[in-house]
Amino acid sequence: MEMIYNPFAIPFLEKHPEIEIFNIMDDSLLSETLKEGTITSAVAGRILNYVYSAERAGADAVMVTCTSVNEAAKYARRFSKIPVFNIDEPVAKIAIDAGSRIGVLATLPTSPKATIRLLNEEAQRINKKIDVIPFVVEGAFDILVSGDRKKHDEMVADALYKLAQKVDVITFAQISMSLVPHEDCGKPIFKIGESGFEEARRLMRL
């Protein structure tokens, strides 16, 4: 709620009162993916079932909000009657348009893998050559979960400035990083959040 619904969904709903959002929560999706180091068939299967549940509940679109499991959204939309996408897909498209040497900043080891897959797929789609440089801020996510947001934000901001020296553009690989305050690093930065909700609105043709 603190990372996604309160800072992003609530302002979106205030702007678009005609839209209704309901949540299907499963914290085990991320923990299992982190434990295995990659998305598993069990995780993908549960996400597909949640998509089916959303369909039956009358949803017009489904947005998967965990970047580490974004491949499951790609899988699920093959079998869904309604649009299904991951919240980081719009950011990947914007980043590809903005530069060729792309930095991917993350605090979890599974997130860059998922983001890089999206970037490579989009680059291949438009026949563009890119160079992707991942940077994982080790330990920052655990510090955030423990409640020390200030320390987390300082670690992410410090890594951001270092990564900016090596790339044309930077994309954040997790929505948990999107509220980190920072100074101008001299490079375009693309963050997960608002663009995902606007993509849902576009897919519903509202």
Q: What is the pLDDT of residues 173-192, one digit of tens each?
A: 999 999 999 999 999 999 99
What pLDDT was estimated at residue 2?
A: 73
* Percent of the chain scoring above 90 in pLDDT: 97
Taking domain 89-190, whether its CATH number is 3.40.50.1860 is answered by yes
Cα–Cα distance, 161 to 90 (Å, whole number)? 23
Return the pLDDT at 205.
Answer: 83
Output the average pLDDT for the chain.
95
- Residue 194: burial class (beta carbons within 10 Å; 0-12, 13-18, 19+): middle
Q: What is the mean pLDDT of residues 148-159?
A: 97
User: What are the domain boundaries of the chain?
Assistant: 5-87+194-203, 89-190
Q: What is the pLDDT of residues 23-64, one digit of tens each?
A: 999 989 999 999 999 999 999 999 999 999 999 999 999 999
Do 105 and 84 meet the contact criterion of CB atoms below 8 Å apart? no
Report pTM.
0.90
Asked whether residue 1 carries a pLDDT value surpassing 70, the answer given is no
**Residues 6 or more apart from 85 whose CB is under 8 A from it?**
61, 62, 63, 64, 73, 77, 196, 199, 200, 203
Q: How confident is the model at residue 200 (pLDDT cuts 50, 70, 90)?
A: very high
Q: How confident is the model at residue 206 (pLDDT cuts 50, 70, 90)?
A: low
Please, which residues have CB within 8 angstroms of residue 186's CB and are 6 or more apart in sequence? 164
In this model, does residue 85 exceed pLDDT 90? yes
